């Protein structure tokens, strides 16, 4: 069968022939229709993600849209290595498939799945968002952050605060449901004060952080000392991505004085089954709620040309 193939962490995947998968006990064969090129997939294929295992060759791709032997159209996730989703066929645990709404097309479903997984799992499984709470999304301008705004409102958030690099980058986020916009291209002290204003005035119950790095430090500093002896403030800070840096400086006093709860959301912090269930929640909501999803279909045969482009977050490979 044809597939994208990773032969080394030092080389981009190439298009070629790969062995056919043979489903074993508890697994099911999927004929793949579409698979998104997410940052997670790229990170795994370059050996930079904590889940990379160094076994070559392998087919990249953690999830996709396909058809089961009985004709059922499904979203599937976590194929059995070395078979990923960027191939004509793959095999997955039968329990890690969810049926797709008839009116949701393959490309949109594939494009929404990974960013939807990150936001929905963070909000539902980790932060345990309750209706009427306020959510701050740090790094809301990418595909994941934009979907997170819409998902937070869908799940009942009272208020959503979004951050982006500058005024231009946050343009249009209000139309997706953001109630306040905070540009990140300002001095650290000013950014901290902007965060503190939101925390003090309107309250922030949940933070979804796609950036880490300096902006996360400013956010944590803003939360420090915001409590009082008359209340028990609780901000659930969910770390999802690290586009701005892999580490931060975390003063111990920030935790003692804030009621801040730090947690992560990703592979390993939530079970695969619950991650797939989260995606199902997102996919069922896309059409009824009118979610806006950015996607650009590209034939898998063009994988070598597309892999390193700056627009890859929107790319969905079709088989």
* Domain with residues 115-264, CATH architecture: Alpha-Beta Complex (3.90)
Residue 188 scores a pLDDT above 50: yes
pLDDT in tens, 32-74: 999 999 888 999 999 988 888 889 999 999 999 999 999 999 9
Residue 131 has pLDDT above 50, yes or no: yes
Asked whether the domain spanning 115-264 has the same topology as the one spanning 2-113+292-318, the reply is yes
Nearest Cα to Cα of residue 222 among 240, 232, 237: 237
Q: Are 316 and 111 in contact (CB under 8 A)?
A: yes
Of the candidates 318, 313, 315, the one whose C-alpha atom is nearest the C-alpha of residue 300 is: 318
CATH of domain 2-113+292-318: 3.90.180.10
Burial 175-202 (b: 16+ CB within 10 A, else e): ebbbbbbbbbeeeeeebbebbbebbeee
Average of pLDDT values for 275-304?
95
- DSSP 8-state code for residue 189: H
Q: What are phi and psi of 184, to 5 degrees?
A: -90, -15
Question: Residue 179 has what pLDDT?
Answer: 97
Q: Which of 28, 36, 18 is nearest to 83 (CA)?
A: 18
Whether 24 shows a pLDDT value over 80: the answer reads: yes
253: pLDDT strictly greater than 70: yes
Q: Which of 76-90, 257-271, 301-315 has the lowest mean pLDDT?
A: 301-315
pLDDT for 312 equals 65
Range with lowest mean pLDDT among 152-161, 185-194, 219-228 = 219-228
Round to whole Å and give the CA distance between 99 and 76.
9
Predicted local distance difference test score (pLDDT) of residue 44: 92
Domain ranges of the chain: 2-113+292-318, 115-264
pLDDT over 70 for what percent of the chain? Answer: 96
Q: Which whole number is the average pLDDT over 189-218? A: 95
Token pair 């003090």: residue: 200
Distance CA 118, CA 123 (A): 9
- pLDDT value at residue 257: 86
* pLDDT score, position 226: 60
């Amino acid at each position: 069968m044809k597939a994208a193939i990773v032969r080394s962490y030092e080389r981009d995947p190439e298009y070629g022939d790969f062995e056919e998968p043979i489903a074993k006990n508890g697994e099911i064969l999927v004929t793949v229709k579409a698979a998104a090129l997410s940052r997670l997939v790229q990170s795994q294929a370059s050996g930079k993600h904590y889940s990379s295992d160094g076994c070559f060759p392998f087919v990249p791709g953690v999830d996709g849209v396909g058809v089961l032997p009985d004709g059922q159209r499904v979203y599937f996730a976590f194929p059995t290595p070395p078979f990923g989703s960027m191939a004509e066929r793959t095999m997955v645990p039968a329990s890690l498939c969810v049926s797709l709404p008839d009116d949701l097309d393959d490309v949109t479903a594939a494009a929404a799945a990974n960013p939807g997984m990150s936001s929905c799992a963070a909000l539902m499984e980790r932060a345990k968002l309750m209706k009427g709470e306020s959510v701050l999304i740090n790094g809301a301008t990418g595909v994941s952050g934009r979907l997170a705004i819409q998902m937070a409102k869908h799940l009942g958030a009272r208020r959503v605060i979004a951050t982006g690099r500058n005024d231009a980058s946050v343009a249009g986020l209000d139309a997706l449901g953001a109630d306040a916009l905070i540009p990140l291209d300002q001095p650290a002290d000013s950014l901290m004060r902007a965060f503190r204003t939101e925390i003090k005035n309107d309250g922030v119950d949940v933070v979804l952080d796609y950036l880490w790095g300096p902006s996360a430090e400013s956010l944590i500093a803003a939360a420090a000392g915001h409590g009082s002896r008359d209340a028990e403030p609780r901000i659930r800070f969910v770390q999802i991505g690290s586009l701005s840096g892999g580490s931060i400086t975390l003063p111990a006093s920030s935790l003692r004085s804030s009621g801040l709860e730090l947690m992560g959301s990703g592979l390993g912090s939530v079970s695969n089954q619950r991650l797939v269930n989260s995606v199902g929640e997102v996919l069922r909501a896309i059409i009824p709620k009118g979610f806006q999803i950015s996607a650009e279909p590209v034939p898998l045969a063009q994988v070598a040309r597309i892999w390193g482009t700056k627009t890859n977050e929107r790319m969905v490979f079709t088989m």
